[in-house]
Amino acid sequence: MATTPFTTVPWNGHVGAASFTFDDAMDDQIKNLTPILEELTDVRVTFFLSNMGGNRLTATGAGFAKLAKMGNEIGNHTDGHLQLPDQSDDKLKTEITDFADQIEKVMADNGAEVNVTAVATPYCNNNEKVSAEIDKRQFINRDCGWHGRNDWDTEPKWLGMASRVWNSSETATAELLSALDTAAYIGDFGAANPWEVQVKGGSWLVLLNHGVSDEGGMSITPADIKSAFKRALENNLWTAPFSTVGAYHRAHFTLDKAEAIKDGEGYKVSWELPHQHMPKSIPLKVKLTDDFLKEAGFTTNDNIVLVQGGKEIAPDAQGNYTLEFTALSATIRKASTLGLGTPRQNKQPRENTQASNKIYDLNGKHLKQNRDVHVIKVFGK
Ligand SMILES: [Zn+2]
């Protein structure tokens, strides 16, 4: 059977996505963002740590470890924050690869299990040699760029992802809110620049921020960042870390091409990881294609389930299944008769768009219970 059975639901079921990233391991990020993120539990962000000045990492380790334990991502902004294209191969290794190990160690010393999967190049200066070093240890890199938006159907340059740089100015906050509207495709774009409307539908906006304080400079005020977070949620953007959204986006280009092979009573689908250094868990919300269901002779009354690690995964009210991409295979079959084959209508899943804003940490720990997805957990990994 050459039919592709899966279509990944864009942006985890949201209109689009927004990843807020904060660079340079600044003290005011810890001080001012921790209480906001404690309050807005549907927002999780990325902190790109650097060791600028020689002891930045140890000085801020406890604060960022706490943020990591809340489900925020810790990424790699290099040891010395240098112009990477000017460095030797050996120096690139210590700046990027060795520093990723060091970040994980300092986080572990502070009680946080962190898996560094993303880099942000200092000054957004990148070249082939720099990208090659990043690729040895991480699957994604954030550079600067223009509008910072990514279309669902277009595979981006994973080691040179564009981001929209937030700069402090009188109009910066209004521009930030407008960027979040544009990502969600809300509003009237009749008079906008062409690049503002080039994405037809919801897109993923990557934002680059620095300080979070009332003291000016390259900072956004805590009140403004909080209103930006809230705007992202109001616009139904999946407001999740850079690696989380990036891994979901990257995985779909693989999964949606995977083909089904007849296997006993069902069909087996296998695929490979597109990169060895992705998050340890990548839950994907998928639908079964009509072509597949037809070719397999399955009907809507068949109570089709996915099976991974011996566990059956039933669909939610919208017919979406949440599969674990890193399990690298799934079987599609009729539900077994041992209690899991209860007709879908008897499960009465509740419609709840907020609940679909599912946040996992990068080790796959479910940080927020999602009531409308029936995942029977435990993947044999
Ligand atoms: Zn920086």
Q: Tell me the CA–centroid distance for residue 145 and ligand 1, in Å.
A: 15
pLDDT score of 321:
97
Q: Tell me the CA–centroid distance for residue 379 and ligand 1, in Å.
A: 38
- Strand-strand pairing, 321-324 and 283-288: antiparallel
Q: Tell me the CA–centroid distance for residue 78 and ligand 1, in Å.
A: 9
pLDDT score of 113:
97
Reported in sequence order, the residue ranges of 24-174 that DSSP labels E, i.e. its strands, are 46-49, 73-76, 118-120, 140-142, 149-151, 164-165
pLDDT one digit per residue (tens) for the chain, 381 residues? 568 999 999 999 998 999 999 999 999 999 999 999 999 999 999 999 999 988 899 999 999 999 999 999 999 999 999 999 999 999 999 999 999 999 999 999 999 999 999 999 999 999 999 999 999 999 999 998 767 788 888 899 999 998 988 766 677 888 888 888 878 776 655 555 544 544 455 889 999 999 999 988 888 999 999 999 999 999 999 999 999 999 999 999 999 999 999 998 899 999 999 999 999 999 999 999 999 999 999 987 889 999 999 999 999 999 999 999 999 999 999 998 554 444 444 444 433 333 334 444 444 444 443 333 333 333 333
pLDDT score of 147:
73
pLDDT score of 299:
86
The answer to whether 299 and 357 have CB atoms below 8 angstroms apart is: no
- Contacts of residue 339, defined as CB under 8 A and 6 or more positions apart, other chains included, come to none
Per DSSP, 96 falls in state I
d(CA 381, CA 378): 8
- Strand-strand pairing, 329-334 and 304-308: antiparallel
pLDDT score of 353:
37
Amino acid, res. 196: E
Q: Tell me the CA–centroid distance for residue 77 and ligand 1, in Å.
A: 7
Q: Tell me the CA–centroid distance for residue 24 and ligand 1, in Å.
A: 5
For residue 379, count CB atoms less than 10 angstroms from its CB and return exposed for 0-12, middle for 13-18, buried for 19 or more: middle
d(CA 365, CA 44): 13
Q: Tell me the CA–centroid distance for residue 36 and ligand 1, in Å.
A: 22
Location of structure tokens 């809230």: 230
Q: For residue range 147-160, what is the model confidence (pLDDT) as tens digits?
A: 778 888 889 999 99
Q: Tell me the CA–centroid distance for residue 272 and ligand 1, in Å.
A: 34
Structural tokens at position 295: 């070719």
pLDDT score of 170:
72
- For the domain bounded by 15-245, which CATH number is listed? 3.20.20.370
d(CA 17, CA 25): 24
CA proximity to 375, closest of 321, 317, 337 = 321
pLDDT score of 320:
96
Residue 207 CA to its chain's centroid (Å): 13
- Edge-to-edge strands, sheet with 321-324: 6-8, 283-288, 321-324
Q: Tell me the CA–centroid distance for residue 176 and ligand 1, in Å.
A: 19
Q: Tell me the CA–centroid distance for residue 9 and ligand 1, in Å.
A: 34
The answer to whether 12 and 248 have CB atoms below 8 angstroms apart is: yes
pLDDT score of 241:
98
pLDDT score of 373:
36
The answer to whether 23 and 77 have CB atoms below 8 angstroms apart is: yes
Task: Please give the span between the terminal C-alpha atoms of the chain, in angstroms, as a whole number.
Answer: 28
The answer to whether 116 and 99 have CB atoms below 8 angstroms apart is: no
Location of structure tokens 């937030």: 166
Domain ranges of the chain: 15-245, 249-356
Q: Tell me the CA–centroid distance for residue 52 and ligand 1, in Å.
A: 9
pLDDT score of 265:
84
pLDDT score of 189:
55
pLDDT score of 184:
78
d(CA 24, CA 35): 19
pTM comes to 0.86
pLDDT score of 1:
57
